[in-house]
Structure 1
C-alpha cells in the first residue's frame, strides 16, 4: 500500500510540474469571499439569496472578465466550466473557497502562454501572407467565443495580420514627435509607406516584442483573481456594487481626494487596450490637443528619448502606474486613433490634475 501511495504522489507531482501553479485560498480571501456573499444577501436592496443567483451567468461573466476579447477560451471550455461548477458554485462561495475561480484562471494563464508562443512563431513564418483575405472585428465583446482550438488559431492568424499591417502602415514613430509641424504630419498621412524588407523586419520585431510581453501582462496575483471573481459575483446583483481589494481601495481614495498627477485623462480597459474615455479640460492632454476620446494608448515612455514600452494587453492598473508620475516629468505616448488614422507620438509634461468633474456642487435659487 505504501508503494501505491508513493506512486500516486509521484504521478501527481509529475502532472503538476506540467501545469501552472494553482493559487490557493488563504484565510483572508476565505473571510472576504464569505463576507461579500453574506453582505450582498443581507444588505443589497434586492435581498436575493445566493442560491437564487444564476451561477451559469456568473461563470460566463467571470470568463468574459478574464478574456473580454474572447481570443483565449473556447466555447467548449466555457460550457465545460458551467457544467462542472454551476450546481455547486454557491456552496464554494459560501464556504469562502475560490478553487473554481483559481482553476479557471490557471487555464486562462496557460492559454495566454500558448497564444504568445503561437503568435511569435507565426511572425517568424516566411509564409505569413499579408494579402490573404479576412476580417478581425475590433470589438469582439458581443461575439461568441471561438468554437474550438482550430477556430482560435484562425482568429489569431487574422489578428496577427491586422497587427502587423498596423505596424507597417501606422505613422512612423519618429515622424510625429512634439516638434514635428502639422504640415509634415499631414503629408505623412497622405503617403502610403513602401513595404520594404527592412520595414517588414522592423515591424515583425516590434510586434514580437509586444506579443512576448502579453502573457506577463495577463499574469495576476491571487488577490487580483479574487477581485475579478467577486466583482463578477456582485454584477449578478447590479452593475454598480463593487468589491475592493486593498490596492483598489487606494485608487478609490485618490479619486475621493479629487487630485492626482498625470496627463489629465480618464482611462478604461477596452479589450486589452488602454483607452482614453475622457480628456480633462486644462490638463496636459487637452492642452496638447492631438489626442481624442476613444484613442488607444499603445505604448508609454518615461521621457522624450525613452523607447516606449508596449502596454497592449497590460492590466489597466499597471498601465496607469506607468502613466502617472511626478509633476513636471516628461511622458511619451504612442496613440492609435479610434478612427483608424495614423499613429501619434506625443510628449507631454505631467501636471497636477484636479478632478473637479467629480466634486459635488450646489446652487441656490430664489423662488
Structure 2
C-alpha cells in the first residue's frame, strides 16, 4: 500500500483536509468561459444512517455472498475504477487532472468503508456533480447562442463508445468532444423529421431538466451509486436498495402492477428495457422490445412528450405508472441497429398478473421421411402459481403444472406422436413449478441442485410421481428463456428425456435473498443452481442439441453480457435415470436440419438480417455529415427490402416496390399480432415451431425402443 494512502486512512479529519486540497486547485484551474457555474449545488455529505449501512453492507458481502472475495486493496482498486465508470462511463465529464487527484483513494476504500467513512466517495461524487452542472450550463448556453454553428456538411465522425478512451486532458478538449455529442444529438433529431430549431428546442428542454434535477440531488442518490459500484463487483444481481427503491422493489415483486409490464434498468443516460413481463400490456402490445431505450414519455393520447434522457430510473418509472385503463406513450430508440428513426409506442396501462397468460396448446402436422406426424405444442409463457389461492385451499387455483397437465391429457386423447414445450421468451417464475412440470415427464428423481455460499448442496426439488407423459418430447428455447425455464430444459436434457432446440438460453443460474439493513435493503446472491448433470446453468445457460438462428445478440442480452457475472462451473452430478441417448440420434437429425435450413426462405432471411444487424452493431464511429448518414440509412433500407423480397419471392408472395411499402406492411402486421395475442397458436405460421416439429419428427422416426422403457441408473 502506498504511504499517501495510509495517510488517508488514519482519520476522517485527514480525509477532509485531503478533499480540500484535492478540490481547490482543480476549481482554480477551470477555464471560466467553459465552466462558469451560475448556481452551484451544495456539496452532498453522508448521513449517520448511511455510514452505518455501509459498514453493514461490507460485512454482509464478506460473510454471505456466494462469491468469496475479500474487500482488500486489490478489490478497492477495482472499486475505484468501477465507481468512476458508474459516474462517467463514457469518460466525458471528468478531466485527467480529476482522475490523477482521485488516485489518492484507489487503495483506501476497503479500510474507509469498513469503518463507515464515506468522505472520499462523496468527494468524488461532488466533483462529478460540479463537472456535470458546468457542462449542462455550457450546453444550454451553446444552444441559445446563435453564434455557435453546427455544420452538417463537413465529414467528421464521433467515436460511439469511449469506455476505453482516455479522459479529456483539458477543458478545451472536453468542449470539442461535447460539441460533437451535441451535433450528433441534433442530427439524430433532424433525421427523425424535425428541423434544426425544433431539435435545439427539444435538446434545450432535455438539458435544462437534467440541470434542474442535478441541482436537486440528495445524498441518498450519491450513497446508492457508491454502494452499487461495490455490490456489482460481486455479481450483477447483488444490489443495494435505498429505502425508496426498496419500496419500488416491493411493488415490482407483487403479482399486480398498474403499468406496462416492463423491467427497466439505467444505462449511461438512458432508461433501457431489460425484459418484458409475460402477460403484461407491453408484451401484448408487441412493439416494445428488450434493449429499446426510452427517451420520452407522454400521458394520454395527446399529452406532451417529456424528455427523460438523464433522468433517474425511479423518476422514469413514476411517469410510466398510472391508473389502470389510461394510455402512456413512449418514444424509444429501437434496439434494432438498422432502425433509422425513433419509435412511438402507445400502451394502455393494465394490472399485470403473472397468471393471466396461461399455457396454451395447438396441434399441427409435418411430413418427414414419407410419413405424416401429428404433433402437439404447449406454449408455456411463464412458470406461474396463484400461491394465495393455493394456501387458502382453493381446489381450482391456477398454476403452470395444473394447466399443462390438463393440456397433456387433451393431447393424449388426440393421439399426437409427440409434443413440443415452447419456452421461448419465458423468463422464469416459480421454481417449485419448474420442478413439478418436470415431474410430468420423468419418473421420481432430482430436478435441480442448489449450492449455498457455505458449499452445502441440496436436492430438495424433485420429481415425486411417475411420469404422466411418456411419448417423445422437444423443448424450444431462445436467449430470453431464463431461470426456471433453464432448470426445466436442463433437466429434460440431462435425463435424455427429450431434444432441446433453439438458441443458447439466458444463463441466469443464481439465487438472491433480500436482506433488511438499518437503512434500506441488500439484494444479495447466496446460492447457485446446478443441473443434475453437475453443470451450472449460470453464465453458459442451456446449450440446445439443435440450434436455430437468432436476431438477439448474446453480447448484449444474457448473463454473459454482464460484467462480473458469476462463472459457469460444475459440481458432482446427482444420480438419475437416462431415457434416451440423444447424442446417438443427433448426426442424422443435424444433417436433415441443415438441409432444410439451407432451403427454407424464412431462415435464409433471418441469417441475412442477422448479418446486417451485426454489421450495424459493430460500427465504432458515427458520421456527423447529414448526407452520409442518409446514404448509409438508404443502403440499410435497400438491403432489408432486398432480403424481404427474396423471402417473399421464394414463398410465392408479392414483393414490395419500396421500403416504405415494407415498413407500412410491418406496422400493420404488428398491429394484427397485437390483436391476436390471446388467440390460438398458429404453428404453421411460426418458422421456429415448424422447424422444431420437423426435428422432433426426425427424432421420433429414429426411436426404436418402447415409450415406457426406463434406462438404467446413470453412474456418478
Provide TM-score, normalisation by structure 2: 0.43
Structure 1 or 2, whichever has the larger Rg, is 2
1:133 aligns with 2:133: no
Provide the alpha-carbon RMSD of the alignment: 2.6
| Corresponding position of 1:346 | 345
Could you tell me how far 1:305 is from its partner in structure 2?
1.5
Q: CA deviation at 1:291?
A: 3.1
Q: Tell me the residue number matched to 2:321.
A: 324
Aligned to 1:164: 186
8 Å Cα contact 1:122-1:128 kept in structure 2? no
Q: Offset of 1:40 from its aligned partner?
A: 2.3
CA distance in structure 2 between the aligned counterparts of 1:140 and 1:352, rounded to whole angstroms = 41
Unpaired runs of 5+ residues, structure 2, are: 1-23, 29-37, 355-381, 383-426, 444-716
Match of 2:254 in 1: 257
Q: Are 1:167 and 1:207, in contact at CA under 8 Å, matched by a contact in 2?
A: no
Structure that is richer in helix per residue: 1
Whole-angstrom CA distance in 2 between matches of 1:139 and 1:266: 25
- Residue 70 of structure 1, CA deviation: 2.5
- Structure 1 residues 325 and 100: CA distance shift in structure 2, 3 A: same
Q: What SS does structure 1 have at the residue aligned with 2:344?
A: strand
Compared CA separation, residues 238 and 270, structure 1 to 2 (3 A): closer
Deviation at 1:248, TM superposition (A): 2.2
In the alignment, which residue of structure 1 is the partner of 2:72?
51
**Structure 1 position 277 matched with structure 2 position 297:** no
Whole-Å Cα distance in 2 between the matches of residues 139 and 48 of structure 1?
Answer: 30
Secondary structure of the 2:158 match is coil
State yes or no: 1:113 paired with 2:109.
no
Of 160-169 and 133-142, the range deviating more from structure 2: 133-142
- Distance between the aligned counterparts of 1:345 and 1:334, measured in 2? 5
Cross-structure match for 2:118 = 98
CA contact (8 A) 2:74 2:107 kept: no
| Counterpart position of 2:330 | 333
Deviations 1:57-106 (A, max 9, x none): 21221111122332212343223212x21243223212212111111111
**How many residues are aligned here?**
326
Q: Any idea what the Cα deviations from partners look like across 1:15-47, whole Å, max 9, x if unmatched?
A: 9x9853222222211110111122223333455
> Contact between 2:44 and 2:122, CA under 8 Å: does it hold in 1?
yes
Give yes or no for contact 2:256–2:352 (8 Å, CA) kept in 1: yes
User: Any runs of at least 4 consecutive aligned residues in structure 1 with deviations exceeding 6 A, and if so which?
Assistant: none
User: What is the rounded CA distance, in whole Å, between the counterparts of 1:296 and 1:111 in structure 2?
Assistant: 25
Greater relative contact order (CA < 8 Å, ≥ 6 in sequence): 1
2:152 is paired with a residue of what secondary structure?
Answer: coil
User: Match of 2:93?
Assistant: 72
CA distance in 2, matches of 1:42, 1:160: 47
CA spacing shift, 1:141–1:261, aligned 2, 3 Å:
farther
> Gaps (5+ residues) in structure 1?
1-11, 173-198
**2:205 matched residue in structure 1:** 209
Counterpart position of 1:296: 293
**What aligned pairs does 1:182-193 form with structure 2 within 5 A after superposition?**
none
Which stretch has the larger CA shift, 55-64 or 117-126?
117-126
1:56–1:18 distance in 2 versus 1, CA, 3 Å: farther
CA contact (8 A) 2:90 2:163 kept: yes
Distance 2:111 2:276 in 1: 44
1:69–1:141: 8 Å Cα contact kept in structure 2?
A: yes
Structure with greater proportional strand content = 2
User: Which residue, 39, 50, 71 being the options, matches 1:29?
Assistant: 50
TM-score, structure 1 as length reference: 0.80
